[in-house]
């Protein structure tokens, strides 16, 4: 399994993605939930090329699992899915199962994982985007081999046509006369020209396929940010710009946990962090009243979900030190959203982050180092001022939220205890299935008292920062940690 | 002594294995969708390539290095090697088919699994397949021509051998017709049978093969025989494939599939092939271009006259049974598509565009027939 994971990771790195995609730089989908009475942790590695193979790994926390089945559901097909495949037990691992699924079309897919145990069966739906995110060039050795073989074949073709014109029409033993030799030379000339034309046409055809593929490659919606003054408030304005990608629209966004957009602002230098929820003022514009963030340049990551379950993370930067946008006619500002939160917190390289009021958040780290590609459970314990275990309240329907950012900005994910999947995407697929169970209330799902946990697989080695947000006593607490991944 | 040499039997069987394998593979992709390199239809195709390549390589090797002067002088020269021309075609074909494999593998990894039959790597494979079929035809041809030229030594035995060899050539031609039919399959399905595209591609290719066969063969009804082989193979696959259970392993599944989906009912090539055989009786009296015009126009007119009304029958409820299998669709065929709703596509804008399209088909047909006659004339003279 580890070998396969490393191989898959090596392949991902070799493919050198040329554009960002949902959950910037972190294409793997992680989901933790209950399949019937069994807790499962699902990791889906989508293909970088569509149609392509998705690798699915399932960890089922039970010892009586008889069978694990996997099925790809394509949203636009409205249900016509092939029969589920059986996942295979990973040799040497008691609770790990793995399988592969073909994702045949671009867009929103869901992987249905069914776990059958002695106690019964249950399933979970894991939304997976099927996007072409990489363009693989042909490596030099293969190109040289094919070019070499091609030359031999072309040369051989000319020689064979020549033999056919010159020798083949003669009775055995006779030699060709001048007439035949002339015909032979003409045939060689014509064949060479025809072959050259065929090769030229073939290369042009290849070029066209390549262009079409590049056109289909996923391009996220573009985001522009600016700030305007509205009285004594600062309002951030985000404008969407669709570069055009297949039939993706900007007009079909659906709320995820009641919000059309979740925006994260991370200050360069990483001391300031904000989690705000811009509201839509017109089809292409979102606005939010900014909390009192210090003047700095901020990286902005905005999560949105489309009606069919496809989730996108839009990125831009916002400079709060710059002069504000020209004052607009409107001096109104959107109301403050009580779910918006922000903090000035320096990520700690220790395991405990203390808060100003005396409370603390402790990262319950495993002794083993974090490894790229490996499924990890990030667990945090929150203590109230005074040392007693904190009593956590749901924050936007979840026990906790986390944001993970790699130093260079090439990886950003917004994770919940259920994993990297947006609830709105799961709801989209649930709508397709008549009589599906209503979406569960995940509020205190993965919190056991004062501990929250997030499943995640870091896509590549490097230095990361993790911000963890919980709600306690009506206030949002944000802890920040540094993490090195090998 | 066997009527056909071991070599001829090997390459003809290899060509047949490739043809059957290709039809099977397309059916597999329409029904199951997912396959690996080692799927049974792929094995049938590559088995044909390996048998043809090894047998031909052996013959060339033996002729060049171990053959006597007589044997060597009975072969052609290519790059210092000697052997029958057909053997070189088959070796080249096997080489091209094997070269296409890594190219195709890279193509799938770079651009995804193919959604259409034709892609650049598949075209390389196609040329290889064509070369092997031509090699089989040429081998049969040489044996046929030598047979005709030999003095009537063994009486009955000789006559039987001659008949087998003539048939072997027509059989190889029929396989070749089937292969070409597969390459243009996507443009000649039912929905396009009232559009000019179907007739343009058919007229661009079939007259060439039929004219070449008609001229090169010593049978009385060569084009008809080849077309009969094409039809028999098409019908056999149409009736046998659906006997095997299959279900889609790829989504989205838009049609219910329980058995292998066959390719469509073969094109009605028998009547136009028969017309070509009849018109070839005028060979001695017409110049090459006039003969080509007669063959080309004859093919188009007869083909149009039979295929167009037949298409209406294929769209009607009367054809939705196991005999004509018009109720079988690939798993990916949308229920909203023309095909699934038994409607013809509107390829041409209207009757005028259709007429223009058919006029072009006539031009293609005549040029195709002319090229076929040239090739047929050459084939008639091939002795090595």
Q: pLDDT grade, residue A387 (50/70/90)?
A: confident
User: What's the pLDDT tens digit per position in B276-322?
Assistant: 999 999 888 999 999 999 999 999 999 999 999 999 999 999 999 99
- Residue A173 tokens read as 């033993």
- Taking a contact as any Cβ pair under 8 Å apart, which residues of chain A between 377 and 406 contact chain B? none
Residues B252, A105: C-beta atoms closer than 8 Å: yes
Residue pLDDT, tens place only, B312-345? 999 999 999 999 999 999 988 888 999 899 999 9
DSSP A140-168: HHHHHHHHHHHHHHHHHHHHHHHHHHHTT
Cβ-Cβ contacts under 8 Å for A265 (sequence gap 6 or more): A272, A273, A274, A276, A293, A298, A299, A300, A318, A342
Closest CA to B252 of A485, A78, A51: A78
CB-facing half-sphere around the CA of A148: CA atoms within 13 A: 6
The pair phi, psi for residue A310, each rounded to 5°, is -75, 125
Instruction: Give how far Cα A453 sits from Cα of A382, B244, B335, Å.
Output: 11, 51, 46
3-state secondary structure of B188: coil
φ, ψ (nearest 5 deg) of residue A18: -100, 0
Q: Give residues 21 to 80 of A whose Cβ lies within 8 Å of B.
A: 49-52, 72-74, 76-77, 80
**Predicted confidence band of residue B2 (pLDDT cuts 50, 70, 90):** low
- A371 three-class SS: coil
| Cα–Cα dist A311/A208, whole Å | 29
Tokens read off for A58: 């399932």
Please report the pLDDT score of residue A105 as a whole number.
Answer: 77
CA distances from B238 to A114, B44, B241, B242, B313 (A): 38, 18, 6, 7, 17
Q: Do B102 and A163 touch (CB under 8 A)?
A: no
Q: To the nearest whole angstrom, how far is the Cα of B13 from the nearest Cα of chain A?
A: 23
The answer to whether residues A51 and B112 touch, using CB atoms and an 8 Å cutoff, is: yes
Q: CA angle, B383 as apex, B378 and B384 as ends, to 5°?
A: 110
Least confident of A5-9, A153-157, A268-272, A273-277: A5-9
Question: What pLDDT is stored for residue A7 in this prediction?
Answer: 39
Which pLDDT tens digit goes with each residue over B21-38? 999 999 998 998 877 778
Nearest to A156 among B76, B92, B113 (CB): B92
Q: Provide the 10 A C-beta neighbour count for residue B282.
A: 12
Residue A379 is given by DSSP the state E
Task: Annotate A152-163 with b (16+ C-beta within 10 A) or e (fewer).
Answer: ebbebbbbbbbb
d(CA B372, CA B216): 10
The nearest alpha carbon in chain A to B87 belongs to A160
Confidence class for position A21, pLDDT limits 50, 70, 90:
very low
Q: Which residues touch B22 (CB under 8 Å, ≥6 apart)?
A: B41, B45, B129, B179, B182
Q: What pLDDT shows up at residue A323?
A: 59
Closest CA to A44 of A122, A126, A104, A102: A126
Contact at CB, A209 and B111, closer than 8 angstroms: yes
Predicted confidence (pLDDT) per residue in B229-270, tens digit: 999 999 999 999 999 999 888 877 888 899 999 999 999 999
CA dist A361 and A353 (Å) reads 5
The answer, yes or no, to whether residue B136 has pLDDT greater than 50, is: yes
User: What residues 130-169 of chain A have any CB closer than 8 A to a CB of chain B?
Assistant: 132, 135-138, 142, 145-146, 149-150, 152-153, 156-157, 159-160, 162-169
A254: helix, strand or coil: strand
Interval A135-150 mean pLDDT: 88
Strand ranges (DSSP E) for A307-374? Answer: 311-319, 341-344, 352-354, 360-363
Q: Is A464:A413 a contact under the CB 8 Å cutoff?
A: no
Give B152's pLDDT tier (boundaries 50, 70, 90): low
Mutate to test the interface with A, among B251, B258, B371 (most CBs of A within 10 A): B251
pLDDT in tens, A184-230: 899 999 999 999 999 999 999 999 988 888 888 888 899 999 888 88
Q: Which of B29, B69, B96, B111 to mutate to test the interface with A (most CBs of A within 10 A)?
A: B111
E-strand ranges in A6-145 read 29-35, 38-45, 52-60, 65-74, 85-86, 88-89, 96-103, 107-117, 120-130
Min mean pLDDT across A269-278, B56-65, B350-359 is at A269-278
Grade residue A320 by pLDDT with cuts at 50, 70 and 90. Answer: confident
- First-last CA distance in chain A: 17
Across the range A280-294, mean pLDDT stands at 90
CB contact under 8 A, B111 and A49: yes
Check A135 against B79: CB less than 8 A apart.
no
pLDDT for the residue A10? 37
Q: Read off the pTM.
A: 0.79
| Residue B28 structure tokens | 């597999």
Please confirm whether the linkage preceding B252 is cis (ω < 30° from 0): yes
pLDDT for B383 equals: 82
Neighbours of A446 (CB within 10 A): 23
Distance CA B143, CA B137 (A): 10
Put simply, the answer to whether B102 touches A83 (Cβ < 8 Å) is: no
Q: How far is A13 from chain B (nearest CA, A)?
A: 15
pLDDT surpassing 50 at residue A438: no
Query: Nearest CA of chain B to the CA of A77: how many Å?
Result: 6
* pLDDT tens, position by position, B196-209: 999 999 999 999 99
pLDDT on residue A61: 87
The encoded tokens of residue B335 equal 């229920």
Rounded to an integer, what distance in angstroms lies between the CA atom of residue B338 and that of residue B345? 6
Residue A131, Cβ density class (10 Å: 0-12 exposed, 13-18 middle, ≥19 buried): buried
Report the sign of the C-alpha dihedral through residues B177, B180, B182, B186, in that order.
Answer: negative
A403 has pLDDT over 50: yes
CB A340 within 8 A of CB A8: no
What confidence score (pLDDT) does residue A18 get?
28
Q: Which of A48-52, A347-351, A428-432, B322-326 has the highest mean pLDDT?
A: B322-326
Q: Which residue has the tokens 């090539």?
A: B269
pLDDT band per the 50, 70, 90 thresholds, residue A4: very low
pLDDT confidence bin for A330, thresholds 50/70/90: low
User: CA–CA separation, B298 vs A394, rounded Å?
Assistant: 81
Question: Would you call B78 and A160 a contact, using CB atoms and an 8 Å cutoff?
Answer: yes
The Cα A276–Cα A396 span in angstroms is 12
| Secondary structure class of B244 (helix, strand, coil) | coil
pLDDT at B92: 96
Of the given ranges (A9-13, A127-131, B91-95, B168-172), which has the lowest mean pLDDT? Answer: A9-13
The 10s digit of each residue's pLDDT in A269-284 is 768 999 999 999 988 9
Read off the pLDDT band of B3 (50, 70, 90).
low
CA dist B307 and B268 (Å) reads: 6
Q: Place A120 in a pLDDT band, splitting at 50, 70 and 90.
A: confident
| pLDDT level of residue B51 (50, 70, 90 thresholds) | very high
Angle at A5 between CA A4 and CA A8, to 5 degrees: 85
User: If you average pLDDT over every residue of chain B, what do you get?
Assistant: 90
Residue B154's pLDDT is what?
A: 62
* CA-based end-to-end distance of chain B: 21
Helix (H), strand (E) at residue A456 = strand A451-457
Best-predicted range by mean pLDDT (A22-36, B52-66, B247-261): B52-66
- Band the pLDDT of A466: cuts 50, 70, 90: very high
Neighboring chain A residues of B79 at a CB cutoff of 8 Å: 156, 159
Strand partners, A313: A303
SS3 A304: strand
C-alpha closest to that of A104 among A49, A178, A143? A49
Rounded to 10 deg, the angle between the B288-315 and B196-216 helix axes is 130
Pick from A470, A414, A316, A468: nearest CA to A29: A414
Residue A212 burial (C-beta neighbours within 10 Å; 0-12, 13-18, 19+):
exposed
For residues A72 and A44, the answer to whether their CB atoms sit within 8 Å is: no
Is A368 in CB contact (< 8 Å) with chain B?
Answer: no
Chain B CB contacts of A52 under 8 Å are 112-113
Task: Determine what percent of chain B is predicted with pLDDT higher than 70.
Answer: 96
**Residue among B243, B220, B221, B223 at smallest CA distance from B231:** B223
d(CA B8, CA B161): 13
For residue A329, the tally of other CB atoms under 10 A from its CB is: 5
Is the model's pLDDT at A245 over the cut of 70? yes
- Average pLDDT score over residue span A116-143: 85
Contact residues of B toward A, CB < 8 A: 33-34, 70, 73-79, 85, 88-89, 92, 95-96, 99, 102-103, 106, 109-113, 115, 119-120, 123, 247-254, 378, 381-384
- According to the model, what pLDDT value does residue B114 have? 65
> Is the ipTM reported for this complex over the cut 0.90?
no
Question: What's the CA gap between A483 and A454, in Å, rounded?
Answer: 15
Answer whether residue B50 shows pLDDT above 90.
yes
């Amino acid at each position: 399994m580890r070998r396969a994971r490393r191989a898959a990771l090596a392949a991902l790195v070799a493919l050198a993605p040329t554009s960002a995609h949902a959950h910037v730089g972190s294409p793997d989908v992680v989901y933790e939930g209950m399949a019937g009475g069994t807790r499962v942790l699902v990791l889906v590695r989508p293909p970088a090329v569509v149609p392509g193979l998705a690798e699915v790994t399932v960890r089922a926390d039970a010892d009586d699992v008889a069978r694990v089945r996997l099925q790809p559901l394509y949203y636009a097909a409205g249900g016509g899915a092939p029969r589920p495949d059986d996942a295979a037990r990973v040799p040497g691992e008691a609770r790990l199962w793995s399988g592969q699924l073909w994702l045949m079309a671009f867009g929103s897919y869901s992987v249905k994982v069914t776990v059958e145990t002695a106690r019964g069966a249950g399933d979970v739906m894991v939304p997976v985007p099927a996007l072409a995110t990489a363009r693989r060039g042909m490596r030099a050795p293969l190109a040289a081999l094919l070019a070499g073989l091609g030359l031999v074949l072309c040369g051989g073709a000319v020689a064979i046509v020549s033999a056919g014109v010159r020798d083949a029409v003669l009775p055995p033993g006779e030699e060709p006369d001048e007439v035949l030799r002339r015909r032979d030379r003409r045939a060689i000339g014509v064949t060479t020209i025809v072959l050259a034309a065929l090769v030229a046409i073939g290369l042009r055809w290849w070029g066209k396929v390549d262009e079409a593929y590049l056109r289909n490659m996923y391009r996220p919606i573009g985001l522009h940010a600016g700030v305007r003054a509205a009285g004594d408030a600062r309002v951030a304005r985000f404008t969407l710009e669709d570069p055009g990608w297949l039939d993706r629209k900007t007009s079909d966004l659906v709320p995820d946990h009641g919000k059309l957009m979740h925006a994260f602002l991370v200050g360069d230098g990483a001391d300031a962090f904000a989690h705000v929820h811009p509201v839509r003022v017109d089809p292409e514009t979102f606005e939010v009243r900014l909390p009192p963030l210090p003047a700095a340049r901020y990286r902005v990551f905005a999560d949105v979900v489309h009606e069919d379950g496809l989730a996108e993370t839009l990125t831009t930067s916002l400079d709060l030190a710059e002069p504000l946008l020209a004052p607009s006619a409107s001096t109104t500002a959107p109301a403050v959203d009580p779910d918006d939160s922000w903090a000035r917190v320096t990520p700690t390289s220790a395991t405990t982050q203390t808060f100003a009021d005396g409370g603390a958040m402790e990262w319950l780290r495993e002794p083993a180092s974090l490894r790229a590609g490996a499924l990890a459970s990030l667990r945090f314990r929150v203590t109230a001022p005074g040392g007693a275990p904190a009593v956590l309240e749901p924050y936007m329907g979840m026990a906790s939220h986390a944001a993970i950012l790699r130093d260079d900005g090439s990886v950003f994910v917004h994770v919940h205890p259920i994993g990297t999947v947006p609830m709105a995407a799961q709801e989209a697929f649930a709508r397709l299935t008549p009589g599906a169970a209503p979406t569960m209330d995940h509020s205190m799902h993965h919190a056991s008292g004062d501990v929250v946990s997030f499943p995640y697989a870091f896509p590549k080695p490097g230095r990361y920062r993790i911000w963890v947000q919980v709600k306690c006593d009506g206030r949002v607490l944000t802890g920040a940690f540094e993490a090195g991944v090998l | 002594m066997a009527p056909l040499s071991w070599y001829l039997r090997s390459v003809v069987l290899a060509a047949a294995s490739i043809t059957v394998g290709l039809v099977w593979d397309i059916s597999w992709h329409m029904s199951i969708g997912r396959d690996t390199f080692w799927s049974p239809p792929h094995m049938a195709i590559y088995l044909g390539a390996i048998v043809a390549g090894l047998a031909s390589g052996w013959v060339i090797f033996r002729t060049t290095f171990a053959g006597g002067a007589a044997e060597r002088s009975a072969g052609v020269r290519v790059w210092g090697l000697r052997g029958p021309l057909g053997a070189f075609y088959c070796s080249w074909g096997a080489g091209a088919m094997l070269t296409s494999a890594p190219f195709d593998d890279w193509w799938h990894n770079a651009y995804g699994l193919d959604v259409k039959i034709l892609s650049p790597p598949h075209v390389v494979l196609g040329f290889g397949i064509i070369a092997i079929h031509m090699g089989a035809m040429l081998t049969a041809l040489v044996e046929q021509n030598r047979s005709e030229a030999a003095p009537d030594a063994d009486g009955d035995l000789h006559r039987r051998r001659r008949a087998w060899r003539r048939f072997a050539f027509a059989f190889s031609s029929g396989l070749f017709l089937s292969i070409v039919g597969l390459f243009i399959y996507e443009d000649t399905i039912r929905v396009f049978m009232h559009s000019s595209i179907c007739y343009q591609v058919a007229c661009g290719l079939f007259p060439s093969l039929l004219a070449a066969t008609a001229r090169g063969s010593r049978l009385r009804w060569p084009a008809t025989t080849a077309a009969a082989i094409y039809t028999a193979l098409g019908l056999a696959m149409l009736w046998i494939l659906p006997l095997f259970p299959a279900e889609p392993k790829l989504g989205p599944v838009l049609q219910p599939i329980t058995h292998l989906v066959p390719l469509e009912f073969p094109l009605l090539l028998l009547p136009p092939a028969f017309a070509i055989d009849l018109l070839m009786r005028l060979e001695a009296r017409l110049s090459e271009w006039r003969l080509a015009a007669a063959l080309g126009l004859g093919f188009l007119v007869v083909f149009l006259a039979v295929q167009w009304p037949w298409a209406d029958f294929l769209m009607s409820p009367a054809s939705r049974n196991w005999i004509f299998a018009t109720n079988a669709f690939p798993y990916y065929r949308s229920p909203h598509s023309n095909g699934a709703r038994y409607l013809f596509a509107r390829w041409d804008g209207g009757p005028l565009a259709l007429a223009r399209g058919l006029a072009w088909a006539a031009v293609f047909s005549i040029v195709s027939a002319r090229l076929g006659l040239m090739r047929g004339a050459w084939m008639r003279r091939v002795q090595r």
